[in-house]
Amino acid sequence: MPTKIKKSKESTAKVRPRWTKEEVALLKRLYRTHSNAEIASLLGRKVSSVVFKGHRLGLSKGPRRLREMGRENIRKRWDPLKKEAAKKTETTRSRK
The DSSP call for residue 9 is S
Between residues 82 and 49, the one the model is more confident about: 49
- Residues in contact with 57: Cβ distance below 8 Å, sequence separation at least 6, in sequence order: 24, 27, 28
What digits encode the pLDDT tens for the residues 46-61? 999 999 999 999 999 9
Per-residue confidence at 8, pLDDT binned at 50, 70, 90?
low
Domain parsing of the chain, residue ranges:
19-61, 63-96
Measured between alpha carbons, how far is 62 from 33 in angstroms, rounded to an integer?
6
